Amino acid sequence: MGINKNGLLAGKVAVVTGASRGIGEAIAIRYAMEGARVAVSARTVNEGDHKLEGSITGTTDRINAAGGEAVAIQANLTAEADRLNLVDETEARLGPVDILVNNAAVTYYMTLPEITEKRFRLMWEVQVWGPLQLAQLVLPGMVERGGGRILNISSGAAIHPDKTQPGHGGTVYGMCKAALERFTTGLAQEVYEQNIGVNVISPGLVATPGAVYHNLINERTKNIVQPVEHMAEACLRLVHGDAKQLTGRIDHAHKVMREFSLDPAELI
C-alpha cells in the first residue's frame, strides 16, 4: 500500500508515545501511511539503547524511507519537562497536534507485597498522569481549531479478574489501565461539544517485544495471538470521521475490526 499523502489523515499531525516498538510503532506507521505527519516518541532513541529491540530512530527511518513524514522526539514520560517538550517540539517541527495517542506503558508484574512505592508511582505516572497531562497540553489547540482526537491504549488487565483463577501480579497494572479508561470516558463527555473524540482501545494478545519478554506468549496463549496490524487498523478507524459519532468508547481491537468490516493493511 505504501504512503498515501492524500489519505484519511492527510494534513493531520499525530503524536504517538511508546512508538519505538510493538503496538506504538505499528500505529505510527499506519497513521503515516494515511498521510499524517507523525511525532514518534519513546525513551529509546537508537537500536541497542534498550534490552528490547526497536527505537524511535528506527520507526522514523522506516516511515521516511517510504516517503512519509515523521520525526523522533525522545521523551521519558515520568518527567514533566519531557512531556512539555514533546508537545512543544512537535508543534515547532510539524505543526499543531490533531491526534494524540497515549500508548506508552511501564509494567511490573508483581504481587502487592512486592510492589514498591517507586514502582507504583512509575506505573501511575506513565499510564495515568502522563496521558492526562499530555491531553491538557494539546486540548487548547484542538478546541481553537474546532476538533481533534485523543486515543488511549488500554489492556484487558483493566477488566475485573475472576477471583477463582490464579493471579499473575497484574493488580497495580490493571488498576492503572482501569483509571485510564475512566479518564477517557470522562474527558469524552467534557469535550463532546468541541468536536474532540476521545476513545480507549485494548489490543488482543499481540506478540510485541514486551509481550514476549514478559512471557505472555506461551503454549497456553500462542493460539490466540493477533497480528499487530489488526490493532493498528482499529486505532486508525478511531481517529477519523465524525468525532461526535465516535467518542467515549471503551473498545477492543477485534470488535472494532468486526464492527467496521476492516481489512488490516500491510505495514510499510
- pLDDT 10s digits, 65-81: 999 999 999 999 999 99
The CATH architecture one would assign to domain 13-259 is 3-Layer(aba) Sandwich (3.40)
Would the pLDDT of 213 be above 60? no
pLDDT value of position 168: 75
| CA separation for the pair 18, 210 (Å, rounded) | 11
Model confidence pLDDT, tens digit, residues 129-148: 999 999 999 999 999 999 99
Instruction: Enter the C-alpha cell of residue 219.
Output: 503454549
Beta-carbon contacts of 219 under 8 Å, excluding residues fewer than 6 positions away, are: none
pLDDT value of position 181: 98
The domains of the chain are located at 13-259
pLDDT value of position 207: 54
The single residue of 108, 173, 192, 213 carrying the catalytic annotation is 173
Mean pLDDT of 149-177: 90
260 touches 221 (CB < 8 A): no
| CA separation for the pair 268, 265 (Å, rounded) | 9
Catalytic residue at 173? Answer: yes
